[in-house]
């Protein structure tokens, strides 16, 4: 089968998306480092735990919610454990599973960091888009994530 080359419009869309993929993580990490000393992924881990009433998630569920691999998550949780933000323990309902548990210090730090992060995200992304654009972007992003899951999982 012959390669179907990108049209000029498709190349423009792809260039914009790849630029976003390259620049946004760097900007998020830099803002997060200034605000709290966390990487964006560390903040994401803490915030996903903070959204749970008991601050607890299985590591596999946490990996899914942060869109990270279990291996990457394990390294990050170990660093957060060393800082007293998270602890790990076996899941009582499944001895093969491990839970990540947000500590009081972790909750305090993520709650202190959240307002600055939300302001940054709002300024950088949300306030520059119409509601229709946000809805389209959400659908598009979810579709790409679903296709990525099907090729990698």
Can you give the C-alpha Rg of the chain in angstroms? 18
Cα separation of 107 and 86, whole Å? Answer: 9
Burial environment of residue 101 by CB neighbours within 10 A (0 to 12, 13 to 18, 19 or more) = middle
List CB contacts of 24: < 8 A, sequence separation 6 or more.
Answer: none
Task: Give pLDDT tens digits for 42-67.
Answer: 999 999 999 999 999 999 999 999 99
Half-sphere exposure of 11 (CA within 13 A, CB side): 5
pLDDT of residue 149: 85
With contact defined as beta carbons under 8 Å apart, do 86 and 55 qualify? no
pTM (predicted TM-score)? 0.88
Domains and CATH numbers, the chain: 35-112 (1.10.10.10)
Task: Give pLDDT tens digits for 99-147.
Answer: 999 999 999 999 999 999 999 999 999 999 999 999 999 999 999 989 9
Cα separation of 51 and 46, whole Å? Answer: 9
Cα separation of 112 and 37, whole Å? Answer: 12
């Amino acid at each position: 089968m012959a390669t179907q080359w990108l049209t000029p419009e498709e190349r423009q869309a792809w260039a914009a998306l790849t630029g976003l993929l390259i620049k946004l993580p760097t900007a998020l990490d830099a803002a997060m480092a200034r605000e709290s000393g966390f990487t964006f992924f560390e903040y994401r881990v803490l915030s996903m735990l903070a959204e749970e009433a008991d601050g607890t998630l299985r590591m596999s569920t946490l990996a899914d919610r942060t869109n990270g691999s279990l291996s990457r998550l394990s390294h990050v949780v170990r660093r957060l454990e060393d800082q007293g933000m998270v602890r790990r323990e076996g899941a009582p309902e499944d001895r093969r599973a491990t839970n990540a548990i947000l500590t009081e210090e972790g909750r305090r730090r993520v709650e202190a960091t959240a307002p600055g992060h939300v302001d940054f995200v709002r300024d950088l992304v949300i306030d520059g888009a119409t509601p229709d654009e946000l809805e389209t972007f959400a659908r598009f992003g979810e579709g790409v994530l679903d296709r990525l899951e099907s090729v990698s999982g």
